[in-house]
Structure formats: structure tokens, C-alpha cells
Structure 1
Amino acid sequence: MANFNTHLNGAFMVSGVMSLTVYKAGLIDDSGFIMCVVLGTIGGLLPDLDSDNSTPIKLGFNLASFVFAFALVMHWRSELSLLALMALWLAGYGFMRYVVFYIFTTMTVHRGVIHSVPYMAILGLGLTYLSYFVLEISLTASWFYGLFLFGGAMVHLLLDEMYSVNLMGMRMKRSSGTAMKFYQHKDKWWYLLLYVILALLLYFAPPFESFWQQITDPAPWTKLKLGVLPTMIENRL
């Protein structure tokens, strides 16, 4: 399968090109462009969260542990003494970094249900929900954020499938078919749960019709077409 750098660079390049496209079409603003690149790149690392020793899972849990400890201290900063806050900080960090991390790695298997299309779709929709309903970001940006996170994850899965082919011998490796998964019979109950959650998220999702009408409107793409080539080249053509 592809390594960390391949996933990182692949997701960054694809999300960068796609973000520039919708940005030049006027569908997202400056901050939206940056967020789409970042989220697409993060999405390219998400499927390896089920790998106990992968760089994404270590970085992710380190960051989550810091954020959790910081949130605890900020919540209790007025009620507790300095020493108590220090102890709370260390306890919160240790709980997330070692206890929760151990439970997570024990319950997950590399290239299990996390390393699948429906799981990544749930994460993408979850981000759309968070952006639109909680953070109150615009409908268009919220959908783009979720789609870019999901798209980055699809780049990851596609790269893993590409690396499962032995091009020299023109044969499939043993890992073929274990990346871009929609279902595995041995995990049928987990997949049933995933698809139920996915169906509910789709049913109650932020209005997609308005988003679809905006991205299918010819005006943004006409604007993009006019700005594809440098002005000097366009004039010569």
C-alpha cells in the first residue's frame, strides 16, 4: 500500500487543484479555498486511523490529547488551584493519549470498517453538519468542506488500490480489494450500522438541492473558462 508521504502529497495535489478550480469559479472565498485544501489533505490521511502505528493516528491522538487537556483546564480554570489545574492537565492528556488510544487501537483492525467508503462518507457528512448547523458556515462552503474531506479520503483509498497492483508482473497483490471497500461479509453488522447512520445523515442533511443548483449554474463555469489561460495566450487564440 502507499506510504504516508504518498498519501499526504497525493491528497494535497488533488485537493489543491480542485480547490483552485472552485475558487476561480467564484464558488468559495479566500478562506474557503484554504480550508478546502487543508480538509482535502486531512481526508487523505483519515483512512489510516485504524493503523496502530501509523503517523496519522499518532499525530491525531497527540493533537486530540492536547485539545482535551486544554479544554479541561479552560473549563475549570476559575474553580481550581494552580496545582489542581496542573494535575488536571496531565490527567486529561494521559487519559486521551494512553487510555483512549489503547481502547481505540484494541477495538480497530487495520483496513477494517474505518478503511472503507461508507465510513469516510459519514465523516464527510458529519463535517458538513458541523459546519452548517453548529458553526453556521454558509451552505455552499459547508457542503464543499464535507466533500473535500471525503474526496481526500477517496484519493487515499484509490492510491492504496493502485499500489496493490504489481505492474512489473502485471498481477494483483494480496492486498488488492482491501482498500476501496463498500462491504465485507465478516463485518456485516458493522457495515449495516454504517449504512443506517449514512442513510439518516443523508435524510436530515443540509439542503443539497440549493447547493446543487449553485454548482450547476453555468455562470461560475463561464467565469472559470474565461480565466483558464493567461490573457496574452487567450488574445492570440
Structure 2
Amino acid sequence: MANFNTHLNVAFAVSGITALTIYKTGLIDDSGFLLCVALGTAGGLLPDLDSDHSTPIKLGFNLASFIFAFGLVMHWRSDLSLLALMALWLAGYGFMRYVVFHVFTTMTVHRGVIHSVPYMAILGLGFTYISYYVMHNPLTASWFYGLFLFGGALVHLSLDELYSVNLSGMRMKRSSGTAMKFYQHKDRWWYLLLYALLAVLVYFAPPFETFLQQVSDPAPWAQLRVDMLPAMMEDLLK
């Protein structure tokens, strides 16, 4: 399987190039461009959340622990003394970083259900919901956010499959087929639940046809063709 740096760099490169292309069409603004790159890069690390010792899971739980502890202190800051708040901070951080982390890593298996296409599709579609219904972002931007998160995850899964091929001997490694998963019989009940949830999310999703009409409008892409090459190079090609 590919290592952390490979996943990070490739996801960032693919997300950056794709987001820049969409940005030049005018379909997303400056902040949308930055968020798409960030989400695509984050998506490139998401599938390794089921690995107990991976860098993404450690960073993720460290960040979540700080946020959880900070939230507790902010909620109780007016009711508790300084020493009590310090104790609450440490207790909150320790609970998330060690108790919840232990439970999570015990319940998950590397390259299990989390390391699958339907699970990542749920995360991507879920972010579209949050962006559109909760944060009230524009429809087009919300769909791009979810698609970039999902696309980054697909980059991760594709890299893992690519690294499962021994190119020097042109043969498949034992890990082949364990990354880009749509279904595993041993986890059939989990996959049944995933696909049921995915079907519900698709049914109630923000209007995709409207998004598709906006993206398929030829006007933005005509503008992209105009801005594709520097003016000096265009003059040379004429």
C-alpha cells in the first residue's frame, strides 16, 4: 500500500489541478477553490482512519481531543473554578484521546468496511448535506465539496490498488483487491447497512439535476478555453 506522504501529495496534486480548472470556469469562487483543494486532500487520507497506527488517525484523534476538551471548558467556563477547568480539560482530552480512541481502534479492522467505496460515498454525500442544508452554501459549491471529498478518497483507494501490483514481476500482491472494495461477503450485514443508508441519502439529496445543468452549461467551459493559454502563446499559435 502507498504510504502517508504519497497519499497526501497525490491527493493534493489531483485536487489542486481539478479545483483550479473548475475555478477558471467561474463555477466556484476563491474560498470554494481553497475548500475543494482542502477537502480533496483530506479525502485522500480518510480511508486510513481504520488503521490503528496510521498518521491520519493519530492526527485526527489528537485534533478531535483538543476540540472536545476546548468545548467542555468553554461550556463550563463561567461555572467552574480555574483548577476545576484545568481538570476538566485534562479529563476531556484523556477521554477522547485514550478511551474513545481505544474503542474505535478495537471496533475497526484495517482495510475493513471503512476502507470501501460505499463508506466514502456516504461521507462525501454527507458533507454535501451539511454544506447545503446546515451551512447554507450554494448548491453548486456544496455538490463540489462532497464530490472532492469522495474523489480524494477514490485517489487513496486507487493508489493502494496500484501499489498492490508488483510491476517488476508483473504480478499481483496478496493485498490486491483489498483497497477498492464495493462489497465483502464476510461483512455483508455492514455493507447492507451502508448501501441502505447511501440509498436514503441519494433519495433525499440536494437537487443533483440542477447541479448537473449548471455544470453542463457550455458558457463556463467556453470561458475556460479562452483562458487556457497565455495571450502570447495564443498569438503564436494563430
Q: Same fold (TM over 0.5)?
A: yes
Runs of at least 5 residues in structure 1 that lack an aligned partner in the other structure: none
Cα distance in 2 between the residues matched to 1:136 and 1:78: 32
1:138 matched to which residue of 2? Answer: 138
Question: What residue identity is the alignment partner of 1:16?
Answer: G
1:209 matched to which residue of 2? Answer: 209
More divergent stretch after superposition (76-85 vs 128-137): 76-85
Question: What residue identity is the alignment partner of 2:69?
Answer: A
Deviations 1:199-225 (A, max 9, x none): 111111111111111000000000001
1:48 matched to which residue of 2? Answer: 48
Question: What residue identity is the alignment partner of 2:188?
Answer: K
Question: What residue identity is the alignment partner of 1:109?
Answer: V
Cα distance in 2 between the residues matched to 1:84 and 1:203: 47
Cα distance in 1 between the residues matched to 2:207 and 2:146: 13
Cα distance in 1 between the residues matched to 2:177 and 2:117: 12
2:99 paired with 1:87: no
Question: What residue identity is the alignment partner of 1:27?
Answer: L
2:98 paired with 1:98: yes
TM-score when scaled to structure 2? Answer: 0.98
Return the offset for 1:118.
Answer: 0.3
TM-score when scaled to structure 1? Answer: 0.99
Question: What residue identity is the alignment partner of 1:225?
Answer: R
Cα distance in 1 between the residues matched to 2:207 and 2:169: 48
Write the mapping of 1:175-186 to structure 2, written as runs, cut at 5 A: 175-186=175-186
Cα distance in 1 between the residues matched to 2:133 and 2:72: 24
1:220 matched to which residue of 2? Answer: 220
When the two structures are aligned, how many residues end up with a matched partner?
237
1:157 matched to which residue of 2? Answer: 157
Cα distance in 2 between the residues matched to 1:186 and 1:163: 24
Return the offset for 1:150.
Answer: 0.4
Question: What residue identity is the alignment partner of 1:3?
Answer: N
Return the offset for 1:136.
Answer: 1.1
1:232 matched to which residue of 2? Answer: 232
2:123 matched to which residue of 1? Answer: 123
**What is the RMSD of the two structures over their aligned residues, measured on CA atoms?**
0.6
Runs of at least 5 residues in structure 2 that lack an aligned partner in the other structure: none
Cα distance in 2 between the residues matched to 1:81 and 1:208: 51
2:168 matched to which residue of 1? Answer: 168
Question: What residue identity is the alignment partner of 2:37?
Answer: V
Classify the secondary structure of the residue corresponding to 1:215. helix
4+ runs deviating over 3 angstroms: none
Return the offset for 1:86.
Answer: 1.0
